[in-house]
Structure 1
Amino acid sequence: MTTTLLELDGVGAHYGRIQALDGISLTVNEGEVVTLIGANGAGKTTTMRAISGVRPISSGSITFDGTDISTLRADLRVVRGISQAPEGRGIFPGMTVLENLDMGAYSRKDRKELPAEMDRIFELFPRLAERRSQVGGTLSGGEQQMLAIGRALMSKPRLLLLDEPSMGLAPQFIAQIFRIITEINKTQGVTVLLVEQNAQQALSRADRAYVIETGRITRSGTGKELLADPSIKEAYLGVA
């Protein structure tokens, strides 16, 4: 039986007078990897910010695990089980890897479990284990992205929001990041909503996908369906 974990119904959002989202509706079911693809400025990041509570919505509703969270503070959404690795990584550059990971667990009451959680993160990201005492700002771009995802996982989320995790990374890091995203979903049971410009990688790993254009959802289907769609290939995969 399919359980809907997240639902956006007619969500609108503005930056001043500019309408960034115009009636977005989408669902993410428990255990899925869902991806949102679109061009720059289409509204992908605004959608993620609306879900995490960083960007207020002007219309519609956001429901998580059966509860309307449309007006809930961002920090309380983390407590409920929504965690985000934001676009641009957003790590604390002056803190060590360990300190960054500990910051990700600020909302947790079960402090005794944190060492075991850290161990799980280091199993996922052995490179971070090697650099646990290194200051975040001195890590490579790929390592910083691993740290951003690891920090988001420290809150033990039910829903992990990943905003452009492959941006600016070398090809070997991109492949590694996407393998880890699949592993997080399959082995840890974390539901993933992924915003990504690398449509090939994102669609090939997604259960379902949505296409967003100028703040509206224009297409949806399984990852395989959209990968095979000629118009999607031309617009987002560079295949004429």
Structure 2
Amino acid sequence: MPAHRKPEAVLTEPSTTGTPLLEISDIVVNYGRIQALHGISLRVDNGELVTLLGANGAGKTTTMKALSGLLPLTSGKIVFDGKDITHMKAHERVIAGIVQSPEGRGVFPGMTVQENLDMGHYARKFESKAAYTETLDWVFELFPRLQERRTQVGGTMSGGEQQMLAIGRSLMARPRLLLLDEPSMGLAPMIIAQIFRIISEINARGTTILLVEQNAQQALTRTDRAYILETGEVTKTGTGKELLADPSIKAAYLGVG
């Protein structure tokens, strides 16, 4: 197995002053004989919004699937809230509080909005009816369109509405760590701006977020820290502000320079 490269630049060292919620150490993932991730390490502290940025094929979605337990590690370690979860099953990770809103939305097309939201509730059940109602009210506050269309079948909704539904369903599982995979994919600019404003609000209310995104401008403007992935390796990390000002990032992801 070839040795993986060290990041070419670290603009700001990952925070060591906050409380770590997620720590990934040298994870390697293979698809058969093809190595997709080459020893990725990153950290997400409690309350942070951290972004994984990279082109198609960089390994972003593979990283998210490894975190959610959908792909096994070839080597490396994943620690969540101080506990080694490297070999924990996917449904157990949801119960622990790691909840993913997947790439492509993945709504249940034959179910209503309400039924889709309740699938999140069933994945990590509430202890009381009051807690369920409070969370549902919060989702409807974030996404009023979902409340308006709670009896509409998910498959008949627009792309933007389905993205709202996918995020809302994830929130119904009360994530401690919300994994958002390409939430802006295929959406109109106005809807993208709306989705990102809501993501910022979710984070501001205390939910820790790990975001995979290709829309560098929207993501870096809001993120605490970001990791740049290239062909399965972390090549650069820094604060959102630093990366927005970095000439190589401007050229590669913002079309500037």
TM over 0.5: yes
Please tell me the residue identity of whatever aligns with 1:127.
Answer: R
Deviation at 1:119, TM superposition (A): 1.0
Question: Matches of 1:158 and 1:109 in 2, distance apart?
Answer: 14
Match in the other structure for 2:115: 99
Match in the other structure for 2:13: none
Question: Matches of 1:55 and 1:210 in 2, distance apart?
Answer: 21
Deviations 1:132-174 (A, max 9, x none): 0000000100000000000001111110000000000011110
1:35 aligns with 2:21: no
Please tell me the residue identity of whatever aligns with 2:184.
Answer: S
Alignment equivalent of 1:15, drawn from 31, 35, 40: 31
Question: Matches of 1:171 and 1:16 in 2, distance apart?
Answer: 38
Percent identity over the alignment?
69
1:220 aligns with 2:237: yes
Match in the other structure for 2:224: 207
Question: Matches of 2:125 and 2:73 in 1, distance apart?
Answer: 27
**How many residues end up aligned between the 2 structures?**
239
Please tell me the residue identity of whatever aligns with 1:191.
Answer: T
Deviation at 1:105, TM superposition (A): 1.1
Alignment equivalent of 2:202, drawn from 184, 190, 193: 184
Q: Does the aligned pair in 1 maintain the 2:99–2:178 contact within 8 Å?
A: yes
Give the alignment's Cα RMSD to 1 decimal: 0.8
Q: How does 1:67-82 map to 2 (within 5 A)?
A: 67-82=83-98
Deviation at 1:116, TM superposition (A): 2.1
Q: Does the aligned pair in 1 maintain the 2:126–2:132 contact within 8 Å?
A: no
Alignment equivalent of 2:252, drawn from 231, 235, 240: 235
Alignment equivalent of 1:85, drawn from 101, 107, 110: 101
Instruction: Find the residue that maps to 1:105 and give its secondary structure.
Output: helix
Alignment equivalent of 1:64, drawn from 51, 75, 80: 80
Q: Does the aligned pair in 1 maintain the 2:179–2:209 contact within 8 Å?
A: yes
Question: Matches of 2:147 and 2:117 in 1, distance apart?
Answer: 11
Instruction: Find the residue that maps to 2:248 and give its secondary structure.
Output: helix
Q: Which runs of 4+ in 1 moved over 3 A?
A: none
Structure 1 length-normalised TM: 0.98
Alignment equivalent of 2:63, drawn from 47, 58, 70: 47
Alignment equivalent of 2:170, drawn from 152, 158, 180: 152
Question: Matches of 1:133 and 1:18 in 2, distance apart?
Answer: 44
Question: Matches of 2:48 and 2:140 in 1, distance apart?
Answer: 24
Structure 2 spans left out of the alignment, 5+ residues: 1-16
Instruction: Find the residue that maps to 1:75 and give its secondary structure.
Output: helix
Alignment equivalent of 1:132, drawn from 139, 146, 150: 150
Question: Matches of 2:101 and 2:83 in 1, distance apart?
Answer: 23
Question: Matches of 1:128 and 1:32 in 2, distance apart?
Answer: 27
Deviation at 1:115, TM superposition (A): 2.1
Question: Matches of 2:126 and 2:54 in 1, distance apart?
Answer: 38
Deviation at 1:109, TM superposition (A): 4.1
Question: Matches of 1:129 and 1:155 in 2, distance apart?
Answer: 18
Please tell me the residue identity of whatever aligns with 2:132.
Answer: L
Q: Does the aligned pair in 1 maintain the 2:179–2:210 contact within 8 Å?
A: yes
Deviation at 1:225, TM superposition (A): 0.3
Question: Matches of 2:159 and 2:126 in 1, distance apart?
Answer: 31
1:5 aligns with 2:21: yes
Question: Matches of 1:73 and 1:220 in 2, distance apart?
Answer: 29
Question: Matches of 2:237 and 2:70 in 1, distance apart?
Answer: 25
Please tell me the residue identity of whatever aligns with 2:253.
Answer: Y
Structure 1 spans left out of the alignment, 5+ residues: none
1:172 aligns with 2:190: yes
Deviation at 1:111, TM superposition (A): 4.6
Deviation at 1:123, TM superposition (A): 0.4
